[in-house]
Structure 1
Amino acid sequence: MKHTSKLLITLFATAAVSASAASGQWLDYKGKKGPGKGKKVVLISGDEEYRSEEAMPALADILSRHHGFDCRVVFPIDPKSGIVDPNNRTNIPGLESLADADLMFIATRFRDLPEEQMAHIDAYLKRGGPVIGMRTATHAFNIAGNKKYAHYSNGYGGPKKEWQGGFGKLILGDFWLNHHGGHKTESTVGIIAPGAEEHPTTRGVSNGDVWGPTDVYGVRLPLPKGSQHIILGQVTKREGPRTSDPFFGMKPTDDEAVEGRKNNPMMPVFWTRNYQIPDGKSGRTFATTMGSSTDLAAAGTRRILVNGAYWLLDLEIPKTGTKVDLGGELNPSQYSFRRGDFWPAQNKRPTDFRLKRRK
């Protein structure tokens, strides 16, 4: 009997440790009061350059604190050390939480996830779950051609006709094209697209409110039938020298548009789209080629993203737009690639990416 008791205690302790270890691989946010109460949002980070590991916790904090959504942020995790490593393209634990999610944010870049993880994303899309795709989500996956989910790859050109262009094309409306604006030299100033002035997602947003030091991405025009441009990206000159601050010396007060083809026509940087994958239900997308953590320093950028979440979930957006005050210090990092031993040396866990509360 004693041996049985000891065995049960050991098994219980092992299970508890395993559960604790697993939960430490992501961040959960319990929703407070708000229209999103009872709804669940999963935010998927996983890019090497634009600091989605900082951006997604900031958005989850806003969505849960001000709007009532239960949120889970998942990260690229090194399976051996358990640290957050954006350069690890093959592991994002916690995607099973998509099974009962009401909304998915995704900002991954060239991920090659195992079948058991991709299956959760595939199942979510087959049921027509709404999607907010940010920045590098146009080229979210790069999966070898002999694998089950190779058709999700950026620019896919294989035998599955409906999937030509991959996840980016079928779900968001386009896949990776180019840097249209000057990388780290020309910022993005958001201009409400003609015809979108009365769209619910633009409530509380005026020209110039949406801003980011990320350059405008090029997209193939026209976007697929049924897409609607919401915000256009004015390619804007930096006034002054490049600096070492997180914005490379660019400021939201910069207002001189670059002359010539970069702004004629302006590229859409936010748009809506309906999607449907083979053997799946139809769903809606709110896509943006913005979304670095530095872009979220602008309240207008945060607001249109949260407005987009409301719109996808058929929630009424206030006339003045959604509340997007930060509950802590964002302190975004410069966007850049950090290679080699950078992330192992940082030794950061998901909990290190929660916003630090203001004193």
Structure 2
Amino acid sequence: MKAPFTQALTLSLTAVTLYAAEDHLVFEPKGSANGKHVVLLSGDEEYRSEESMPMMAQILANNGFKTTVLFSLNEDGTVNPEKGDSLSNSAALDDADAIVMCIRFRHWNDESMQRFENALNRGVPMVALRTSTHAFNFEDKSSKWAKFSFDAEAKSGWEGGFGRNVLGETWVNHHGEHKVEGTRSMIAKDQEKNPVLNGVGTIFATTDVYGAAPAAPSTILLYGQVTETLDPKSPALKGAKNDPMIPIAWTREFDNTGEKNNRILTTTMGAATDLSEESLRRLVVNGVYWGLEMEVPEKADVSIKGEYNPSAYSFKKHKKGLKPADFIVK
């Protein structure tokens, strides 16, 4: 059934059926629908999540999920990840079964924050990428949402904010040298058979390793080997940065105010360029299955049905004047 979106435009793609409203995207499941709705949140100033989240939504739709992608928008409806106060169609969070996010320093309005908190409190699983460790920044420390801020103080009840308390870590630092040293994944001891790693091989990311010490209890899946350069063939950097290596992917559960805990997968990889890596895409998809307590495929299909040419990560370099539908991978 066609979703009742205002000014909806129906497009027939090779992989999925899309309903593109003016301010968000909805992909209906391909093949056998599993009845689950995944909401993907884009909105970071550097790592081009406005490009990667539509691509990941299409892949998840190819795996039987209904998916919705939300954006940060200008008043004229064009995508602008620098609009930290904007989240389009936040009503989609009301029936989200899972959330995938790559956001940074957001400060949404009360309505959107309440919907996000409601989803958290009903136990919606979350897959959080890269800057989601510092997803929120409310400068007004008297705000009811100040505890979500990446730098929330202990008196807020959530020192380190949403990142530290829910995802397991907030912003710490660039452990690797930004735009110089890359990341190569190394499987943590005894995690080779963890279902979240089904079909996940070595990942090379052109983003650097973030500083991170995930809050207990967390299960570390992958460590990040700092490489000398951004070349996938680059050797490991010698010295203290790799001794010990820093966690780059972990799972945990968050005990919210409701009856069901949130299953959380966090990875500090996740630029749009990083997601050119098949194994990183599979890690994200596996995280959705695992979070929903569904059987994780041995090797989920994460092929991209079309041309995905992500922009290099950088501040103030997003594509200007585009609407959500312009980010569909065709």
Flag whether TM exceeds 0.5 (same fold). Answer: yes
**Residue number in structure 2 paired with 1:130:** 125
Instruction: Name the CA shift for 1:126/1:117 in 2 (closer, same or farther; >3 Å).
Output: same
**Alpha-carbon distance in 2 for matches of 1:188, 1:338:** 24
Letter in 2 for 1:275: F
**Alpha-carbon distance in 2 for matches of 1:198, 1:211:** 20
**Residue number in structure 1 paired with 2:53:** 56
For structure 2, the residue ranges without an aligned partner over 5 or more in a row are: 9-19
**Alpha-carbon distance in 2 for matches of 1:124, 1:33:** 27
**Alpha-carbon distance in 1 for matches of 2:128, 2:228:** 26
Assess if the C-alpha contact under 8 Å between 2:123 and 2:258 holds in 1: no
- Pairing of 1:195-210 with structure 2 (within 5 A): 195-206=190-201, 208=202, 210=203
1:145 paired residue among 141, 147, 164: 141
**Residue number in structure 1 paired with 2:72:** 76
Structure 1 position 25, deviation (Å): 0.3
Instruction: Name the CA shift for 1:68/1:186 in 2 (closer, same or farther; >3 Å).
Output: same
**Alpha-carbon distance in 1 for matches of 2:220, 2:108:** 31
Quick check: 1:231 aligned with 2:229? Answer: no
For structure 1, the residue ranges without an aligned partner over 5 or more in a row are: 1-15, 239-249
Quick check: 1:323 aligned with 2:301? Answer: yes
Structure 1 position 279, deviation (Å): 5.6
**Alpha-carbon distance in 1 for matches of 2:259, 2:7:** 35
Instruction: Name the CA shift for 1:280/1:142 in 2 (closer, same or farther; >3 Å).
Output: farther
Per the alignment, in what secondary structure is the counterpart of residue 294 of structure 2?
Answer: coil
Q: Which runs of 4+ in 1 moved over 4 A?
A: none
Assess if the C-alpha contact under 8 Å between 2:45 and 2:82 holds in 1: yes
**Residue number in structure 1 paired with 2:29:** 31
Deviations 1:137-187 (CA, angstroms, capped at 9, x unpaired): 0000001212221110002005232x1110001110010000011111111
Assess if the C-alpha contact under 8 Å between 2:29 and 2:65 holds in 1: yes
**Residue number in structure 2 paired with 1:253:** 233
1:215 paired residue among 203, 208, 221: 208
Per the alignment, in what secondary structure is the counterpart of residue 111 of structure 2?
Answer: helix
Deviations 1:292-319 (CA, angstroms, capped at 9, x unpaired): 1000111111111111111111222233
Letter in 2 for 1:147: S
**Residue number in structure 2 paired with 1:169:** 164
Structure 1 position 100, deviation (Å): 1.1
Per the alignment, in what secondary structure is the counterpart of residue 118 of structure 1?
Answer: helix
Structure 1 position 231, deviation (Å): 1.0
2:321 paired residue among 314, 335, 347: 347
Assess if the C-alpha contact under 8 Å between 1:125 and 1:280 holds in 2: no
**Alpha-carbon distance in 2 for matches of 1:326, 1:219:** 30
Structure 1 position 128, deviation (Å): 1.1
Per the alignment, in what secondary structure is the counterpart of residue 237 of structure 1?
Answer: coil
**Residue number in structure 2 paired with 1:105:** 100
Assess if the C-alpha contact under 8 Å between 2:146 and 2:156 holds in 1: no
Structure 1 position 224, deviation (Å): 2.1
Deviations 1:268-305 (CA, angstroms, capped at 9, x unpaired): 11100111234664211000101110001111111111
Deviations 1:189-225 (CA, angstroms, capped at 9, x unpaired): 111111211100111123x2x12101010013xx222
Letter in 2 for 1:218: G
Q: Which has the higher Rg, Structure 1 or Structure 2?
A: 1
**Alpha-carbon distance in 2 for matches of 1:99, 1:196:** 34
Structure 1 position 26, deviation (Å): 0.5
Letter in 1 for 2:219: Q
Alignment: residue pair count: 315
**Residue number in structure 1 paired with 2:150:** 154
**Alpha-carbon distance in 2 for matches of 1:158, 1:318:** 41
**Residue number in structure 1 paired with 2:276:** 297
- Structure holding more helix per residue: 1
Assess if the C-alpha contact under 8 Å between 1:211 and 1:300 holds in 2: no
Deviations 1:207-248 (CA, angstroms, capped at 9, x unpaired): x2x12101010013xx2222000111111112xxxxxxxxxx
Assess if the C-alpha contact under 8 Å between 1:46 and 1:108 holds in 2: yes
**Residue number in structure 1 paired with 2:13:** none
Structure 1 position 62, deviation (Å): 0.5
Per the alignment, in what secondary structure is the counterpart of residue 155 of structure 2?
Answer: coil
Deviations 1:58-86 (CA, angstroms, capped at 9, x unpaired): 10010102x110000000011x2111001
RMSD (Å), alpha carbons:
1.8
